[in-house]
Amino acid sequence: MRALLSLFLLLSAQALLAQATATLRGTVRDETGATLPLATVSIPGTSTGTICNEQGVYRLTVPAGRTVKVMFSFSGAHPYVEEVILNEGEERVLDARLRFITLKPIDVEATRVDREQGVDRINPKLARFNPSPLGGVEALLGGQLGVVMRNELSSGYSVRGGNFDENLVYVNDIEVYRPFLVRAGQQEGLSFPNPDMIESIRFSSGGFEARYGDKMSSVLDIKYRRPRQFGGSAMASLLGGAIHLEDAMFNMRLRHVTGVRYRTNQLLLGGGDVKGDYRPVYTDAQTYWTYDLTDKVELGFLGLYSRNQYNVVPDDRETEFGPFNQPLRFTVYFDGQERTQFETLFGALNLNVQASRDLLLKLIASAYSTSESERFTIQGQYRLGELERDLGSEQFGEVVRDLGIGTYLDHARNQLDASVYTFAHKGYLQRPKSYVQWGIDTRVESITDKLNEWYLLDSADYSVPLNTGEDLYLQNTLKADLSMQSLRSSAYLQSTWRWESKQHKDRWWSLVAGARAQHWSYNGQVVASPRARLIFHPGWKRVVGKDSIIDRDYSFWLAGGLYYQPPFYREVRKLDGTLNPDIRAQRSIHALIGMDRWFEIWQRPFRFTAEAYYKAMDDLIPYEVDNIRIRYYGTNNAKGYATGVDIKLAGQFIEGIDSWMSIGVLSAQEDVKDDYFYWRFNSDGDTIRPGYTLNNVAVDSSRVEPGFIPRPTDQRVNVAFFFQDEMPRWPTAKVHVNLAFGTGLPFGPPNNNRYSDTLRTDLYRRVDIGFSKQFLGADGQSRRGWRRHIRDLWLTAEVFNLLNINNVANHTWITDVTGRQYSIPDYLTPRRFNLKLIAWF
């Protein structure tokens, strides 16, 4: 009995020792501080391990009371091992930073996860040094595949033939919007994302996953930071300022990042053709808080208040344009003013639950509210004259002949109020051979829109009634009181599979496949969108010498799917101010093939990416672009296509400093159903052109069906270049250059006929440059006194539009008494200078 009792006590003690455990938790990041989703944390030589969630956070149970080796690993990075000894029941925070085997350009991290998801990762810190009047994260998209940006005052961009409304923008898994009533870039103000608060930026130009929403062009996915210590930054410039603070409190269970921004565009607007008293004021405040209710449950809150005001009292305008053989001058004297205001409130609560080691559940509730008012009455008395072009004349450069004299009156009293309430659930499950994601959401939308606008053009008393009681002819009138309430419900399911070769561990295949569906109560339509992406990494190697082998890091992919875009309010509203309840979702079928390669030049890392794509579209809603305002026809009466090739080279042309360049070739065409026009001929057999032909009496006509015409975003060639350099002997002095080139965009007279929008604007050419000097934070710089509280201090001098090229934003159209129309270009900003001081602490 004594022997049996001793044996029982011995086995019990061993069992108790075997059950003594402790817990490690933390975050795995790379060298730049970006989190590494799906990184592996394990105990070598055992089956114990876990995988980080999408925020790079892990939780691992380890044996207590003895030394344990913990290994952190990620594809393409050097594994990191640390020894720990924990007491029974102890919970310890252990973070890790992994160094990649081949250094990457800062702007894009070629991780396996990003390749599988078809996204490029962009470094948000570059937004502070990118020489752009825009100043936001959208300015960094100019060099991404397929992206076109042609207005430095607007955060809008087009991707592969689509307009801005076809792009998805997410902040912390919540879709965000820009103002509805905005007409011009100077009205728009600050965009939603605050660069100082961002942890990561991911962007996809097409062929994106089913977990992203129902749009036809692109995805911009932004995540805000979860700080782990106190910090902040402050920025002041001639265009405004910003400050942000972040901290982690209560044993890092409570975290917040808060930012306030102020911006004014007086510096930019004061140098344009239209002189006047500009008073633009754009402000916003954002805060993001997270709190660990338990070790497995996190509560988060994101809040925003934004107010963008644009007030202007124009005085006069003088624009010179035209070819050398007929130079023209357009002069306008204004009366009146414009007052525009966009006020936005946004709040979101999210609950993240780590239900098990492999299962993460999210619940999200958000509310978005905007109140937008647009009020202006502006009278312009204009004169269009031809200039003397004889260099020997005393009147060279002066008006020698009047082509048109008249008055126009532009009036609007518009008010729009919109609210969107969203309730969503998302799930993430790591299976042994797959990674499953799903989600379901419901959105309640309520919009009221009061429209009252009209436009009068009087060319040489053409529109003035001759007798009392006659009507006054207005070129454009729009008056309506609209309201729309609707409910959207959507769901998605997708999975990721990966297969590795047993003979070659660096050779692998990956498949991301899924589907999503949406129902909209306004038109009762249900749409379903299957999507898939297949990636092959061949793991090729090359022998460069005896016992020396280097990787040839190629990846190839195919992507495609069915992409519906159910209409939002602006697509539903027709040009006459009525709503179309029979509107349907636009549809696009994507087919995409691409590749990338990582390689070294001068022992520095580079990445080459190329993609070719074709998008077949139907049920399109035609639209016209007026400056940055998109005016939809409100009917599904067009089909079209977009096809092209995009290439990009990114890397360190100068060691440790990242640059990139991209080139895109595009053709985007559409065919509006049942559209036609007539050519009319006079008795001389000439085509009648009012203002040009003398005999305007038609005796014959010919019907023309236009067929395919360019879409408003059909920019055939686009080149973007971002280059950074530093002084060889003074590495704290740097230069940053932005270059953009694009061929002309289609445009036409304001007659609501799409077939007439086949003229082309001039080439778009722009160079911005910035010079930066670091005064604190570099090796060897003093850290005494007040300097010890500042981590980095930079002073930047910027020159916008260095070559002072007149780029066209829009066209103003006038008509003389003969019926001849003139298109006067509205130019963007000229050369401007800016100073900017940035401090991090």
**How many Å apart are CA 215 and CA 159, to the nearest integer?**
12
- E-strand spans in 460-575? 476-500, 508-520, 526-537, 540-545, 548-565
pLDDT above 70 for 110: no
726 touches 713 (CB < 8 A)? no
Strand partners, 501: none
Exposed/middle/buried for residue 6 (C-beta within 10 Å: 0-12, 13-18, 19+): exposed
pLDDT band at 47 (very low <50, low <70, confident <90, very high): confident
How many residues make up the chain in this entry?
841
SS3 state at 335: strand
Say which amino acid occupies 669.
Answer: Q
Exposed/middle/buried for residue 9 (C-beta within 10 Å: 0-12, 13-18, 19+): exposed
Closest C-alpha to 832, from 314, 134, 22: 134
pLDDT band at 432 (very low <50, low <70, confident <90, very high): confident
Please state the three-class secondary structure of 583-620 as a single string. CCCEEEEEEEEEEEEEEEECCEEEEEEEEEEEEEEEEE
**How many Å apart are CA 588 and CA 569, to the nearest integer?**
20
pLDDT band at 40 (very low <50, low <70, confident <90, very high): confident
Q: Which residues contact 481 (CB under 8 A, 6 or more apart)?
A: 449, 450, 451
pLDDT band at 53 (very low <50, low <70, confident <90, very high): confident
Mean pLDDT on 598-618: 90
pLDDT at 582: 95
pLDDT above 70 for 789: yes
Say which amino acid occupies 784.
Answer: R
Ramachandran angles phi, psi of 115, nearest 5°: -65, -40
pLDDT band at 780 (very low <50, low <70, confident <90, very high): low
**How many Å apart are CA 375 and CA 453, to the nearest integer?**
9
pLDDT above 90 for 411: yes
SS3 state at 496: strand
288 touches 256 (CB < 8 A)? yes
Q: Which residues contact 339 (CB under 8 A, 6 or more apart)?
A: 309, 310, 311, 373, 375, 376
Report long-range pairs for 538-543 (Cβ below 8 Å, ≥24 apart).
Answer: 538/507, 539/501, 539/504, 539/505, 539/506, 539/507, 539/508, 541/506
pLDDT band at 688 (very low <50, low <70, confident <90, very high): confident
SS3 state at 266: helix
Instruction: Work out whether the CA dihedral 78, 596, 499, 563 comes out positive or negative.
Output: positive
44 touches 81 (CB < 8 A)? yes
pLDDT at 8: 41
pLDDT at 444: 97
Mean pLDDT on 313-318: 94
Residue at token pair 């306030």:
260
**How many Å apart are CA 699 and CA 695, to the nearest integer?**
11
pLDDT band at 214 (very low <50, low <70, confident <90, very high): very high
pLDDT above 80 for 543: no
Say which amino acid occupies 166.
Answer: E
- Name the average pLDDT for the chain: 88
The string of DSSP letters for 567-581 reads: --HHHHB-TTS-B-T
Exposure b/e, 760-779, CB count within 10 A at least 16 = b: ebeebebbbbbebebbbbee
Mean pLDDT on 415-430: 96
Ramachandran angles phi, psi of 147, nearest 5°: -90, 135
pLDDT above 80 for 107: no
pLDDT at 188: 86
189 touches 162 (CB < 8 A)? no
pLDDT at 779: 67
SS3 state at 141: helix
**How many Å apart are CA 415 and CA 376, to the nearest integer?**
12
Give the residue, 237 or 402, on which the prediction is more confident: 237
pLDDT at 784: 73
Closest C-alpha to 637, from 704, 563, 582: 582
**Cα-only R_g, the chain:** 30
SS3 state at 628: coil
pLDDT at 470: 61
Give the residue, 12 or 663, on which the prediction is more confident: 663
pLDDT band at 472 (very low <50, low <70, confident <90, very high): low
pLDDT above 80 for 443: yes
Q: Determine what percent of the chain falls in helix, strand and coil, rounding each to the nearest 5.
A: 5, 60, 35
**How many Å apart are CA 167 and CA 206, to the nearest integer?**
10
SS3 state at 787: helix
Cα distances from 262 to residues 135, 191, 236, 246, in angstroms, run 12, 12, 9, 19
Mean pLDDT on 502-528: 91
pLDDT at 535: 94
Instruction: Work out whether the CA dihedral 471, 474, 475, 481 comes out positive or negative.
Output: negative
34 touches 200 (CB < 8 A)? yes
Stretch (H or E) spanning 174: strand 174-175
Mean pLDDT on 118-139: 87
pLDDT at 549: 59
pLDDT at 30: 78
**How many Å apart are CA 659 and CA 480, to the nearest integer?**
50
439 touches 492 (CB < 8 A)? yes
Mean pLDDT on 350-361: 93
pLDDT tens-digit readout, 60-93: 999 998 888 898 888 656 788 888 898 888 999 8
pLDDT above 90 for 563: yes
**% of the chain with per-residue pLDDT over 90:** 55
Ramachandran angles phi, psi of 458, nearest 5°: -120, 100
CB atoms within 10 A of CB 601: 10
61 touches 21 (CB < 8 A)? yes
Token reading at 470: 């006659």
122 touches 47 (CB < 8 A)? no
pLDDT above 90 for 691: no
**How many Å apart are CA 78 and CA 99, to the nearest integer?**
6
pLDDT at 103: 33
102 touches 605 (CB < 8 A)? yes
pLDDT at 685: 87
pLDDT band at 189 (very low <50, low <70, confident <90, very high): confident
Q: Per mean pLDDT, which of 276-290, 596-610, 678-692 is the most reliable?
A: 276-290
Which of 359-368, 470-479, 526-535 has the lowest average pLDDT? 470-479
Say which amino acid occupies 700.
Answer: D
Helix segments in 212-312, DSSP class H: 266-269
CB atoms within 10 A of CB 623: 23
**% of the chain with per-residue pLDDT over 70:** 91
Which one-letter DSSP state was computed for residue 75?
T
- E-strand spans in 357-469? 359-387, 399-430, 434-459
Mean pLDDT on 487-493: 97
**How many Å apart are CA 327 and CA 397, to the nearest integer?**
9
Ramachandran angles phi, psi of 676, nearest 5°: -165, 165
pLDDT at 530: 97
pLDDT above 70 for 200: yes
Q: Which residues contact 759 (CB under 8 A, 6 or more apart)?
A: 746, 747, 748, 823
pLDDT above 50 for 452: yes
